[in-house]
Structure 1
C-alpha cells in the first residue's frame, strides 16, 4: 500500500515542482507580477532584518520581537497603503495593549483578564476603519497577557518598538524601489480594443451564415465579458493611482510607459455597452432577413477595424469609419422598408449600431486631437 501511494505521490510532486518553477522563472527573466512579488517579498524580509538589528541587536530592547514583526507586514503593495496600514496598526496595537493591561491590573489573573480583554479587542478589530490591521488588536492583547507584563515601562517599550518597526517598514517600501503599478492598466488597455475587434469580426463572419440562438448567446456572453474587462480596468487604474500617492520616488521611474488617460475608460465603457446591446438584439432575432446580413456584416467588420487599429494609423481610421457609416446607411434604408416581422428588434439593431459608431467616432476624434463629438444619439 505504501509503495502504491509513493508511486502516486511522485508524479504529483513533479507536477507541483514544475508549476513552482513556471511561476519562479519569470521573476528572473522578465518584468511582470512575479518579479514585483519577489521584490516586495525581499523588501519585507529586509525590513524585518533591519528592524531586528536596530531593536534587538543595537538597542537590546526587552520586546524586540515587535519591531521586526511590525516591519514585516507593513511592506505593502503601495507606499500609501504602507502609511495607512502603519497608522491603523499602531492605533489598534495601542488600544489592544491598553485594554489588556487594564484587564490584567484589574483582575491579576491571566485567564480572567483574557475573558475581559479578548472580546473587546476582537470587536474593535472588526471595525471597518481598521481594515486588515484590526486583527492586531487582539494579537497585541494576547502578547501582553501571555507575557504578564503590565507595567508602564513594558507598555511604553511595546509601543516604541511597534512604532520603530512601522517606521522601518514604511521607509523601506518608500525608498527601496517604491512600487508603481501601471503594467496591468497598460495590458488591459491594449487588450480591450483587440478583444472588441475580435468579437465584432467574429459576429460579422457568423451572421452571413444561418446562426442559431446558442451561437448568438455565445456572442452575447463574450460581450458581457468585455464589460467585465472594463470593470477590471477601473480596479487596476485605482490601484495604479494609489501607487503614485505619497510615493517620493515615482518620478525616478520615468522609463515606465504611461497608461491611457482616465477618459479612455469612459469611452470604452460606452463602446463595450454598445457591443453588448447589439449582441443582445441579435439573440432576440430568430433569423435575419436576407437583405440585412450583408450591410450589417460590413458595418461590424469596419467597426472592428476601427477598434483594433494601432496608434499612428490616423489615415486608416477615418476610412474605416466611412465604410461603417456607409454600411449603416444601407442597413437603415433596408430596415425602412417595414416589411419584416422582426421590425422592432431590427430597429433596435439600427439604434445600437448607431451608438457604437458615435462612440467609435468620439475615440477617433480624441486620438487625432480633434474636439470630441457631442452630436445627439439615436434614442
Structure 2
C-alpha cells in the first residue's frame, strides 16, 4: 500500500512538472515573455560556445581550445553590462590562476600533487574575494586545468590566456549584437502579475466574508497577503534589470524595445497597496483567532465584502492596463469601479455607527485600512 502511495505521488509530481514544461514551451513560442527570453539567451550561449570553439580549436588549432567555449558560455549573461563586467572579472581571475599554477608547476618541477598544494588553497581563498563576484571559482578550475595538463612553458601559458580572451570577446559580442537583452518588458509584466495576484486575494477575501464562518479562513488570507512581498521583490529585481540592461546596450538601435516601463512611482504605490491589504487581512486574522472578541455584525461584513470586491475589480483592471494591448474601455471601467467602491465605503461607514464595544473598534480599524487602500488605488487625475 505504501509503495502504491509513493508511486502515485511520483506520478503526480511528474505530471505537474510535465505540465509546467509544456506551458513554458508554449509560452516561449507563442508570446513574448520570460520563457522566450530564456530560450533566446540559451541559444545565444550555445552559439557563442560553438563560435569560440570554431575560432580557437578548428581555425587556430589552439592546444587548450576548451578554454574558449567554456569562457564564452559564461559571457552570455542577462545584460550586456553583466557580460562586459563578468568578462573582465573572469579574464583577470583565469589569468591569475594560469600564471600562479604555471609558477607552481615550474617551482615543483612538474610534480602535480605538490603544485596543487601550493595552488588550490590560495586560489579558493582568492575566488571568494568579492571583487571577482561569481567568477572567482574559475581561477581554481583553470589552475586545475593547467596543473593536470602537465606543462608550464611560457608559450603554453600564453596560449591559455589567448584562448580565454578569445572566448570572452566572442561571448560579449554575441550577447551585445544578437538580440541584446533590454529587459524593458519585465517591469510591466511583473507589475501586472502583482496587480492580478492582489485582485485574486481581495476577491477571495470578499467571497469569504459573505460566508457564515468566513473568518475561519482569515489566517490563510493573511498568509497569502504576506506572499505578495515576494511579487514586490520581483518587481524591484525587474526594475534593477531594466536599468542595468540599458547600460552599454545597443539594443535600442538594433531591435524594438517595446513600451517603456511604468514610472518608479508605480512600484512605490503598489508597495503601499500591498501594505494596506496586509493590514486588512491581519485585522481579520486577529479577529478570527480570538473568540473572546465581539465581532462586527454580518451586515458590516457584507458591506466590507462589497467594497473589497470593487477593490479587487480595480486591481484586475490595473493588470489589464499594464498588458501590452491596453484598451481605453479598461480605464473607463476602472473609474466606474472606483466610484462604486467609494459609494460602498460610505454605506459601510453608516453601518459602522451601529457597532458597539470591541466590535466597533475592529470595524473602525477595517474601515480605516480599506479607505487607505482605495486611496492608493485611485485612478490618476
Does the pair score TM above 0.5? yes
The alignment partner of 2:124 has SS state of: helix
Contact 1:284 1:345 in 2 (8 A): no
| Within-5 A mapping of 1:183-194 | 183-194=185-196
Question: Which of 287, 292, 312 is 1:285 aligned to?
Answer: 287
Cα distance between partner residues in 1 of 2:312 and 2:19? 37
| Within-5 A mapping of 1:248-259 | 248-254=250-256, 256-259=258-261
**Range 349-358 or range 243-252, more displaced:** 243-252
Equivalent residues, number:
354
| Within-5 A mapping of 1:1-379 | 22=22, 24=25, 27-108=28-109, 109-254=111-256, 256-286=258-288, 287-309=295-317, 310-311=320-321, 312=328, 313-336=330-353, 339-361=356-378, 364-365=379-380, 370=381
Q: CA deviation at 1:101?
A: 1.9
**Range 116-125 or range 287-296, more displaced:** 287-296
Q: CA deviation at 1:27?
A: 4.3
Contact 2:199 2:312 in 1 (8 A): yes
The Cα offsets for residues 42-77 of structure 1, whole Å up to 9 and x where unpaired, read as 322322232223223333333333222211221222
- In structure 2, runs of 5+ residues without a counterpart are 1-10, 289-294, 322-327
Give the direction of change, closer, same or farther, for the CA distance of 1:15–1:134 in structure 2 (3 Å limit).
same
TM-score (normalised: structure 2):
0.82
- In structure 1, runs of 5+ residues without a counterpart are 1-10, 371-379
The alignment partner of 2:136 has SS state of: helix
Give the direction of change, closer, same or farther, for the CA distance of 1:209–1:148 in structure 2 (3 Å limit).
closer
Give the direction of change, closer, same or farther, for the CA distance of 1:191–1:25 in structure 2 (3 Å limit).
closer
Q: CA deviation at 1:25?
A: 5.6
Give the direction of change, closer, same or farther, for the CA distance of 1:20–1:293 in structure 2 (3 Å limit).
closer
- Could you tell me which residue of structure 2 aligns to residue 6 of structure 1? none
The alignment partner of 1:292 has SS state of: helix
Give the direction of change, closer, same or farther, for the CA distance of 1:34–1:69 in structure 2 (3 Å limit).
same
Superposition CA RMSD, Å: 2.9
Cα distance between partner residues in 2 of 1:15 and 1:304? 32
Contact 2:45 2:171 in 1 (8 A): yes
- Could you tell me which residue of structure 2 aligns to residue 5 of structure 1? none
Cα distance between partner residues in 2 of 1:304 and 1:25? 29
Contact 1:96 1:138 in 2 (8 A): yes
The alignment partner of 1:268 has SS state of: helix
Contact 2:98 2:146 in 1 (8 A): yes
Cα distance between partner residues in 2 of 1:330 and 1:96? 73
TM-score (normalised: structure 1):
0.83
